[in-house]
Amino acid sequence: MKRFVDNYIERHMHPVNRVLHLIGVPLTFVVSVIFLVREEPWLALACFVGGYILQFVGHAVEGNDAGEVVLVKKIAGKPYIEFGPRSQFYGTEATKE
């Protein structure tokens, strides 16, 4: 668990990325479920997609790939950026291939 938390913190260092995740994660995984329970599927879908968009924008600001993108690129054998430029200040590699 510590490794997951350390990795998460390192991948989300930019203040804009943090704010976008603070909004996007609950929108994606909590609010969308609430709308599904209330039988409002279009609002649930809008929250799910909108929340993911916020998270992807956050990673673009951070300068790294979102976790899902890293996973797909790893499987495909493509280069990916796991840690953004800010993580270099903490001794982490900027890219993985």
Query: Does position 93 have pLDDT exceeding 50, yes or no?
Result: no
Tell me what pLDDT residue 45 has: 98
User: Could you read off the pLDDT of 24-73 as tens digits, one per residue?
Assistant: 999 999 999 999 999 999 999 999 999 999 999 999 998 898 989 989 99
Q: How many CB atoms are closer than 10 A to CB 91?
A: 6
**What gap in Å lies between CA 37 and CA 12, rounded to an integer?**
31
Q: Which of 93, 24, 17, 80 is nearest to 52 (CA)?
A: 24
Q: Which of 65, 46, 41, 45 is nearest to 55 (CA)?
A: 65
**How many helices (H) and strands (E) are present in the chain, helices listed first?**
5, 0
> In the chain, where are the structural domains located?
15-62, 65-97
In the three-class reduction of DSSP (H, G, I as helix; E, B as strand; rest coil), residue 77 is classed as: coil
**What gap in Å lies between CA 63 and CA 61, rounded to an integer?**
5
Tell me what pLDDT residue 95 has: 42
Task: List Cα–Cα distances, 36 to 29, 42, 46, in angstroms.
Answer: 11, 9, 11
